[in-house]
Amino acid sequence: MGRLDGKVALITGGARGIGRTTALLFAREGAKVAICDVDEASGLEAVQEIEGQGAEALFVPADVSRMNDVEAVVREIRERWGRIDVLLNNAGILRDATLLKMTEEDFNAVIDVNLKGVFHATQAVAPLMVEQGSGSIVNVSSVVALYGNFGQTNYVAAKAGILGMTKVWARELGRKGVRVNAVCPGFVETEMIRSVPPEVLERVRERIPLGRFASPEEIARVYLFLASDESSYVNGAVISVDGGMVV
């Protein structure tokens, strides 16, 4: 028995990185998995990988910053499987620069994907979950939402905003049987981190009591817990998965 047997999960930004790792884990735990992403080639590869595990999967190309795209994704999932039990709001981008150098275009791009994208997906999925009387929404924030980070005005603003929206939605949707929680991952061994200079990574590592970065699987397992019925009384929580970086 898988922990997500019979459930349908939608993962935004599920084509690569932690999103893809989570999609594969959810599928192994019995879920039917829908992925939406702007990266069509990687999204289709992820679906093939999931189907290779013997699970059902669907890829729908979508830009979460556009409400029409997200609504089309939800319609396609509903037509295919009739329900959505889990929404993982994982899609995100980076456009780093210091305050004095950040362009309005880069600020808006990150807010549109990382913050408005979460609003769009949740607003599109929530009516279906309310109709079902059940559902779990997991919003991906970041450790930087809790302490700020040099050169990330736009990213931190978006990730901090996600924490606020999570608490509002937990109040609004909880009475309708829908749980909403947020996860704040710390630094994770992904492609994104490999572009950071080694000396910078070493300074970050020194701030982590566990002395290392997370694997994508370690983050995905927390998403699995919140997606599953094992967390049936967890609502409005903000869970840090950062090795103790923020304590």
**Greatest extent of the chain over all pairs of C-alpha atoms, in Å:** 53
Domain-located, residue 245 = no
Q: Which of 126-135, 138-147, 191-200, 203-212 has the lowest mean pLDDT?
A: 191-200
What domain range is 140 assigned to?
Answer: 8-232
pLDDT of residue 196: 76
Say what the pLDDT of residue 117 is.
98
Percent of the chain with pLDDT over 90: 94
In a domain, 13, yes or no: yes
pLDDT at 198: 87
Rounded mean pLDDT, 197-213: 92
Does 212 fall in a domain? yes
- What's the CATH number where 144 sits? 3.40.50.720
d(CA 51, CA 34): 12
Residues noted as catalytic: 155
137 within domain boundaries: yes
**Looking at residues 156-176, what average pLDDT do you find?**
98
243: in domain? no
> pLDDT per residue over 148-159, tens digit each?
999 999 999 999
178 - beta bridge partners? 135
pLDDT at 197: 81
pLDDT at position 32: 98
Please tell me the total count of domains within the chain.
1
SS (H, E, C) the chain: CCCCCCCEEEEECCCCHHHHHHHHHHHHCCCEEEEEECCHHHHHHHHHHHHHCCCCEEEEECCCCCHHHHHHHHHHHHHHHCCCCEEEECCCCCCCECCCCCCHHHHHHHHHHHHHHHHHHHHHHHHHHHHHCCEEEEEECCCHHHHCCCCEHHHHHHHHHHHHHHHHHHHHHHCCCEEEEEEEECCECCHHHHHCCHHHHHHHHHCCCCCCCECHHHHHHHHHHHHCHHHCCCCCCEEEECCCCCC
Q: Is residue 2 part of a domain?
A: no
| Residue 25 pLDDT grade (very low, low, confident, very high; cuts 50, 70, 90) | very high
- Residue 37's pLDDT is 98
Per-residue pLDDT band for 194 (boundaries 50, 70, 90) equals: confident
At 226 the pLDDT is 99
Place of tokens 């549109």: 112
CA pair distance 216, 170, nearest whole angstrom: 26
pLDDT at 192 (0 to 100): 72
Q: What is the CA radius of gyration of the chain?
A: 17
Q: Determine the pLDDT at residue 147.
A: 94
**Two tokens at 143?**
């450790």
Note whether residue 246 is domain-resident: no
**At how many degrees (to 10) do helices 17-28 and 216-227 cross?**
50
Arithmetic mean of pLDDT, 143-147: 96
Is 247 inside any structural domain? no
Nearest Cα to Cα of residue 226 among 235, 218, 217: 235
